[in-house]
Amino acid sequence: MRLSPIQKAVLAEFLLLMAAGLIFAWQNADAKTQEASIGINMNYELLETKEGADEPSPEETIAPQEEKKDFIRWVDFNVSCAALEDACACDIETHGTAAELHWVELLAVLACHNGGDFSAYRSSDLDSLTEVLLSGEETIESLTENLDYYDYYREAYGAILDGMLGEYQMQTGTDPVTGEPIWESRYGLKAFLPIAKNFPYTDYDDFGVSRSYGYTRSHLGHDMIGQVGSPIIAVESGYVEAMGWNQYGGWRLGIRSFDGKRYYYYAHLRQNYPYQDGLQVGSTVTAGDVIGYLGRTGYSTTENTNNIDTPHLHFGIQLIFDESQKEGNGEIWIDCYELIRFLSRNRSETVRDDATKQWHRISQMTDPAVQEWLRENQ
């Protein structure tokens, strides 16, 4: 069919409009893809979703849809052990000087430049940053003024790390005359590996691998394979929020940080004797305390059942920016592998009481966060 000049003009205009529409749609989709690959935006909205927790409790329910609030809804924690060690050392070395550097701020600046991916991190990356700050040429405020995602990374990384470094007192001995403990004030790492010193364990990065008991789900924790009865240590000071039997985690224990942002989950504890005596919901614990014992309970609706083939501790950290995230599909669990490697430098040494068959820490620690919590809640 031959078209008239008018029909040809109309058709050409139509095809041009269609092409323009396709180009706009492609650009818009590409922009959204790039935004999703970053995983964050200025409103802290969720751009990636993961459903379910590794060890859900029977009482978990999916909360009804609520109006979105302004809080972080997902965190991918990929900071390497090397970066954690370097930033921690900078913080400790400059503490109390005129140019104090905060390790979380340093890591947040680096994350702005590497998109939160520390797989290619080198110590020189941090050296360049600290050199500028220590010279006085720049401050954290001036350096981050135009970094779009600095506030996000500072809050996200702070939710994980802020309670792990600070001031504390450690018992270094006993006065030979009075018998009173001798305390030494310190500043540094006050978080511990979750398995006591001198107790062996093996692990690998198993975050996100599949699990099938009960239903198909991702492993949202970190398994540390060890010996039955190995003392389990409180990583950070806090209060016991949950304990008891769960068909997925067996005998398990949940400890909340005093600022409410971290929930430490310890699962598959020992059959018959999972917890340290005297521990109950509401108890306060100090980082480094013995809180329980490694076992292989779980994967059964019957309490006190050993159904886990390999004895191990399932350790998890849940981040909570709003209480609506505590249970359900809004839960945020982070990959702990690099953090565990970092904490392996600080292990709580324990001794066995033959009369009670319990293990206790050797060096006592006083954490100001515990004292403040007790003052405000007693």
Tens-place pLDDT, residues 295-333 = 999 999 999 999 999 999 999 999 999 999 999 889 999
Whether the per-residue pLDDT at 47 is higher than 60: the answer is no
Portion of the chain with pLDDT greater than 70, in percent: 80
- Measured between alpha carbons, how far is 229 from 235 in angstroms, rounded to an integer? 18
> For residue 322, what pLDDT is reported?
95
Predicted local confidence at residue 215, as pLDDT: 65
**Dihedral-angle region of residue 188 (phi above 0 means left; psi in -120 to 50 means alpha; beta otherwise):** left
What own/partner pairs with CB < 8 Å and gap ≥ 24 does 350-359 have? Answer: 350/196, 350/197, 350/231, 350/290, 356/277, 358/276, 358/277, 358/290, 359/196, 359/231, 359/290, 359/293
- pLDDT for the residue numbered 206: 80
Which residues lie closer than 8 Å to 179 by C-beta, 6 or more apart?
none
For 39, 147, 149, 263, the CA distances from 113, given in Å and listed in that order, are 14, 9, 10, 29
Q: At what angle do helices 103-114 and 150-161 cross, to 10 degrees?
A: 130
Tell me: pLDDT of 6 over 60.
no
The phi and psi torsions of 141 (rounded to 5 degrees) equal -65, -45
Q: What is the pLDDT of residue 67?
A: 59
pLDDT in tens, 344-378: 999 999 999 999 999 999 999 999 999 999 999 87
Lookup result for tokens 């379910």? 52
CA distances from residue 280 to 36, 139, 277, 284 in whole angstroms, order as listed? 42, 46, 9, 9
Max mean pLDDT among 9-23, 62-76, 199-213 falls in: 199-213
Considering only residues 63 and 265, tell me which one the structure prediction assigns the higher pLDDT.
265
Q: How far apart are CA 225 and CA 354, in angstroms?
A: 25
Beta bridge partners of 244: 252
**Residue 212 pLDDT class (50, 70, 90 cuts):** low
Helix axes 81-94, 103-114, angle to 10 degrees: 140
For the chain, which domains are there? 81-162 (no CATH), 172-176+185-377 (2.70.70.10)
- Write out the two tokens for 269: 């504890």
Please, what is the average pLDDT of the chain?
Answer: 85
- CA gap 183, 173 in Å, rounded: 7
Annotate 88-124 with three-state secondary structure.
HHHHHHHCCCCCCCCHHHHHHHHHHHHCCCCCCCCHH
Given this model, what pLDDT does residue 28 score? 41
50: buried, middle or exposed (CB in 10 Å: 19+, 13-18, 0-12)?
middle
Q: What is the pLDDT of residues 273-297, one digit of tens each?
A: 999 999 999 999 999 999 999 999 9
Cα angle: 316, vertex 319, 325; to 5 degrees: 115
| pLDDT over 80 (residue 3) | no
- Of residues 55 and 351, the one with the higher pLDDT is 351
Say how many CA atoms lie within 13 Å of 95 toward its Cβ. 14
What number is the average pLDDT over the span 154-172? Answer: 96
Beta-bridge partners for 246: 250
Banded model confidence at residue 138, pLDDT cuts 50, 70, 90: very high
Distance set, CA 3 to CA 13, 17, 339, 364 (Å):
14, 19, 71, 93
List the one residue out of 68, 139, 53 whose CA is nearest residue 99: 139
Using the predicted structure, report yes or no on whether residue 226 has a pLDDT greater than 60. Answer: yes
Does the pLDDT value for residue 11 go beyond 90? no
Calpha distance 101→91 (Å, rounded): 5
